[in-house]
Amino acid sequence: MALFRRILSLGKRASTDREIDAELREHMAMCIDDNMAQGMSREAAERDARSRFGNPTVVRERVLAEDIALGLESLWHDVRSALRVFTKSPGFAFVVVATLALGIGANTAIFELLDAVLLQSLPVKNPRELAQVRVVDLDKARGDVAGPYPVVTNPIWENLREDHPGFSGIAAWHDVGFSRDSGGDARFVSGLYVSGEFFRVLGVRPVAGRVFTAEDDRPGCGLPGAIISYGFWQQEFGGRPALGQKLRLNDKTVDVIGITPANFFGVAVGDNFDVAVPICAQPYLETKNLLNSSTNWWLSVIGRLDPAWSVQQVAAHLGATSRGIFASTLRADYPPESVKDCLALKLTAEPSAAGVSMLREMYSDPLRFLLGIAGLVLLITCANLASLMLARTTSRERDMAVRLAIGAGRWRLIRLVLGESLLLSIAGALAGAALAQALSRALLGYLGTSLDFKLDWRLFAFLLGISLLTCLLFGLAAALRASRTSPGAAMKAGSHGMTASRGRLGFRGALVVSQVALSLVLLFCALLFTQSLRNLMIDDPGFQAEGVLIARLDFKRLQIPLDQRAAFQRQLLDSIRSIPGVEDVANTNIVPLGGEGWSNAVWVDGHDSTLRQDSDFSSISPDYFNTLRIPMVAGRDFNDHDTSQSPRVAVVNEAFAKKLGLGANPIGARFRREATPSSPELIFQIVGLVKDTKYRGIRRPIDPIAYLALAQDRDAGNRMKLLVRSRLPMDATEQSIRRTLHDVSSAISFNFDGLQDQIQQSLLAERLLATLSGFFGALAVVLAMTGLYGVMSYTVTQRTTEIGIRMALGAQRTEITTMILGKAATLLAAGLVVGAGLSLAAASAAGALLFGLKPRDPATLAGAALLLAVVTVVASLVPSIRAANVNPIDSLRTE
């Protein structure tokens, strides 16, 4: 309270002043009155009163000190005087603020991204109450698993919907692309299948119309309506009334019945939805009905906890009832031999206030690491600025000495210098915050995603913390230095003595050592990540992706009967193959390194099925190996004689042959593939052997792959994924394919991607790490360079007289240069030793992010150290040469 009153009285200092004056004046007057009443003359009475009262100014100041928070008032005074100092030397202020802005801006931008991806809660009612339901070992489940998020089958979801102890409400969702074209270039919207209660459970109220209810989500509902997002409303309808408007989704028409608020993007951070429809509409919108399948894992379940339950209790309850839930939801389509495994699966619940996010999976580790790196850069920046402030304070020593001599307290001087630092760091933080906006937009553009950046309290706390911290880091040393000024010594006329004070360089030396050490860490990390990215980029996936175009075709609108589809697909392949410039073309159901995968257990025919091994699969057309330039080791490629009537054949890679123990020549061997939900156990004869290739991702090791003939697949689909190798540029090939397909039918929809682009895209996180850490590493080296340069120049200036004497006594120029360089080398060596230790510690944290090299790679560390050494030695050459050119006469004359 008292402090509060004092702060309040800050604003009315003038009136407080007047009041104290009046009070003291009246006191004096009463004293005089009394004296005169006792018979003194007026003069004598006044003299006596004054002598009793003492120095009125001192009394007034002491009273005033009680009334106002003097500390605060004079801090403001310090800031104002600091402002004056900076307007006098704008260059210095600009350099400091710009450096800080860069450091703080980089930190803030990465923090913003981290905040949006990792920390922020979903923009829904009481997000802390949300929890998601997850199958613990989903990879043990059989069937098709859709998407990167935890999922269950629709029968499991319906079971949870009917009985969900611990949840006051529960909802399910699945993200999907709905096509909006009617042939030609494919256009998609981001769709959501949601359960009837989805919006109610999340507490999302529509800005117009209504949201779904349980009534909308009934089996056989058709397409009862669509809820669109605010963003889609703006983009599609320009914000005009949209209720009752029609939308085309997957060639079906639907009415818009509601619009969600602007801040609601769904449950997946980074994936904004456009249109939501009820789960019951799935069979109506897609050809395959997933509602009764117990092998299609596609629905994510999120619920709102009952206040009486903790998430642990719910998890325990789900775990205990899992067996019953799985038992009652398994349908006949589940492979019988896997039922036992399925019943052993467990459900659990996890807090889900921040929703789910693929971005989080991909980027949380890289982002944390980058924030650490950016923090180090800020530290180095502070070390540099501390050096700079220290130099300034030293040059203001006389000013400080005068202040001390006329009675300023040492604490007052500390505050004076800290006031300057505070002003600089706040200016730096503000500029940094502005810069961060631009930087984080650029980062988002780079990642190709959209996120909502909110200026929330976390960001403000971060900015405030970071500016106070930097202020202390770079200002404190200078402030303490200023307070230790010895007035007598500083006031003496001599500007520099015979030898420089060792202690002073000692601290500046320590700053340089820490700069070099931290720079080494950053440079080492940058080199590690760059090498790791390079390893990933030059890693031989076993095929040539360069020059291959992926064309995804969808011809379901043509409604070609199942038995004619294979022929139609062949016809499309032939017409594309005949395009001038096209060398090879193949069809596949899995594009390698695209993140898709399909694997099953296999075993050698005649062996016991318990000797089963897992293998990846691809169904391909003839020419696949030619198109991707995968060398054939033995046997043959598929050909037109491999049909659904002929015996099933397979081509395998070398890893497959090795894993199944088939020896160097597996041609002719037969293997069995386990029964899948859509087909019984099958036998394949190996007709060809190819070299190994990567399948799911570059980071994964080589796995066994069995290639099956698409033509032998019984249910040829309505879609094709064509790989087209062409001599022409991608764009030209794309145009030709468009025309060719259009000639076949305008109802075929398609889209294109470069295979190489798609692989590059999968390395985005690595690229981000390499690029940013490279940038920060370079920045750190420049800072270390300027730091060492500054300190060495300072040393030379301080020691000019000494050097002059040495030269007068016969020292050679080379000796002087060696002496100065030796000093720099000592600092450098100390920095490198400390830095090497820190680097090794940092590297172990980076281990999981690296590919193809050990985190403690000695060659990389040596390279980083060498680079840093060369750069800093060059930086200290200039001052050393200047030292050698000191004219002894001149330097002694200045004394």
Partner 1 sequence: MAKNDLQGALDLLILKTLSQLDSMHGYGIVMHIRRVSDELLIVEEGSLYPALHRMEQNGWVRASWAVTDYGRKAKWYALTRAGREQLASREKNWAQVVKGVDAILRFA
Instruction: Please give the residue ranges that form the binding site for partner 1 (CB under 8 A).
Output: 1-2, 5-6, 19-20, 22-24, 26-27, 29-31, 33-34, 52-55, 58-59, 62-63, 65-67
Judging by beta carbons within 10 Å of its beta carbon (0-12, 13-18, 19+), is residue 809 exposed, middle or buried?
exposed
The rounded distance, in Å, linking the Cα atoms of 326 and 515 is 59
Q: Which is nearer to partner 1, 20 or 192 (CB)?
A: 20
The rounded distance, in Å, linking the Cα atoms of 79 and 72 is 11
Q: Which is nearer to partner 1, 24 or 358 (CB)?
A: 24
- Number of other residues whose CB lies within 10 A of the CB of residue 128: 12
Following DSSP, what letter does each residue of 271-322 receive, concatenated?
Answer: ---SEEEEGGGHHHHSSS--TT-SSEE-BEEEEEEPTT--HHHHHHHHHHHH
Pairing of strands 226-228, 252-259: parallel
Please report how close the Cβ of residue 61 comes to partner 1 at its closest, in angstroms: 9
Please report how close the Cβ of residue 38 comes to partner 1 at its closest, in angstroms: 12
Please give the distance of CA 584 from its chain centroid, rounded to a whole number: 40
Please report how close the Cβ of residue 434 comes to partner 1 at its closest, in angstroms: 41
Please report how close the Cβ of residue 5 comes to partner 1 at its closest, in angstroms: 6
Please report how close the Cβ of residue 24 comes to partner 1 at its closest, in angstroms: 7
Please report how close the Cβ of residue 52 comes to partner 1 at its closest, in angstroms: 7
Q: Which is nearer to partner 1, 33 or 350 (CB)?
A: 33
Q: Which is nearer to partner 1, 7 or 461 (CB)?
A: 7
The rounded distance, in Å, linking the Cα atoms of 280 and 412 is 74
The rounded distance, in Å, linking the Cα atoms of 41 and 286 is 113
Q: Which is nearer to partner 1, 54 or 448 (CB)?
A: 54
Please report how close the Cβ of residue 415 comes to partner 1 at its closest, in angstroms: 22
Residue 329 · residue 141 · CB < 8 Å: no
Q: Which is nearer to partner 1, 59 or 339 (CB)?
A: 59
Please report how close the Cβ of residue 264 comes to partner 1 at its closest, in angstroms: 50
Distances (CA, A) of 219 to 243, 257, 413, 624: 24, 19, 78, 42
What tokens appear for 199 in the block? 């919006």
Please report how close the Cβ of residue 30 comes to partner 1 at its closest, in angstroms: 4
Cα-Cα-Cα-Cα dihedral of 78, 79, 84, 90, to 10°?
A: 130
The rounded distance, in Å, linking the Cα atoms of 54 and 146 is 89
Per the rule left: phi > 0, alpha: psi between -120 and 50, beta: everything else, 225 is: left
The rounded distance, in Å, linking the Cα atoms of 272 and 233 is 13
Q: Which is nearer to partner 1, 67 or 456 (CB)?
A: 67
The rounded distance, in Å, linking the Cα atoms of 774 and 762 is 20
Residue with tokens 């899992």: 322
Q: Which is nearer to partner 1, 35 or 653 (CB)?
A: 35
Please report how close the Cβ of residue 36 comes to partner 1 at its closest, in angstroms: 11
Question: At a CB cut-off of 8 Å and minimum separation 6, what does 287 contact?
Answer: 556, 718
Please report how close the Cβ of residue 412 comes to partner 1 at its closest, in angstroms: 20
Q: Which is nearer to partner 1, 56 or 754 (CB)?
A: 56
Q: Which is nearer to partner 1, 5 or 331 (CB)?
A: 5
Please report how close the Cβ of residue 64 comes to partner 1 at its closest, in angstroms: 8
Following DSSP, what letter does each residue of 512-570 receive, concatenated?
Answer: HHHHHHHHHHHHHHHHHHHHHHHHHHH---SS--TTEEEEEEE-GGG---HHHHHHHHH
Bridge partners (DSSP) of residue 706 are 617, 652
Residue 831 · residue 520 · CB < 8 Å: yes
Q: Which is nearer to partner 1, 56 or 677 (CB)?
A: 56
What tokens appear for 311 in the block? 């998430």
Please report how close the Cβ of residue 54 comes to partner 1 at its closest, in angstroms: 5
Residue with tokens 């079971």: 159
Question: At a CB cut-off of 8 Å and minimum separation 6, what does 277 contact?
Answer: 191, 192, 193, 194, 223, 225, 226, 227, 249, 254, 285
The rounded distance, in Å, linking the Cα atoms of 48 and 54 is 10
Please report how close the Cβ of residue 46 comes to partner 1 at its closest, in angstroms: 15
The rounded distance, in Å, linking the Cα atoms of 567 and 573 is 10
The rounded distance, in Å, linking the Cα atoms of 208 and 257 is 8
Phi then psi dihedrals of residue 277, to 5 deg: -130, 160
Question: At a CB cut-off of 8 Å and minimum separation 6, what does 606 contact?
Answer: 670
Phi then psi dihedrals of residue 188, to 5 deg: -125, 155
Among residues 843, 631, 786, 846, the alpha carbon closest in space to that of 99 is found at 786
Please report how close the Cβ of residue 53 comes to partner 1 at its closest, in angstroms: 5
Question: At a CB cut-off of 8 Å and minimum separation 6, what does 693 contact?
Answer: 541, 542, 543, 592, 628, 630, 653, 702, 705
Q: Please give the single-letter amino acid code of residue 257.
A: I
Q: Which is nearer to partner 1, 35 or 587 (CB)?
A: 35
Please give the distance of CA 363 from its chain centroid, rounded to a whole number: 5
Q: Which is nearer to partner 1, 18 or 700 (CB)?
A: 18
Please report how close the Cβ of residue 350 comes to partner 1 at its closest, in angstroms: 52
Q: Which is nearer to partner 1, 64 or 491 (CB)?
A: 64
Q: Which is nearer to partner 1, 23 or 215 (CB)?
A: 23
Please report how close the Cβ of residue 6 comes to partner 1 at its closest, in angstroms: 6
Q: Which is nearer to partner 1, 62 or 187 (CB)?
A: 62
Please report how close the Cβ of residue 10 comes to partner 1 at its closest, in angstroms: 13
Q: Which is nearer to partner 1, 5 or 125 (CB)?
A: 5
Q: Which is nearer to partner 1, 65 or 878 (CB)?
A: 65
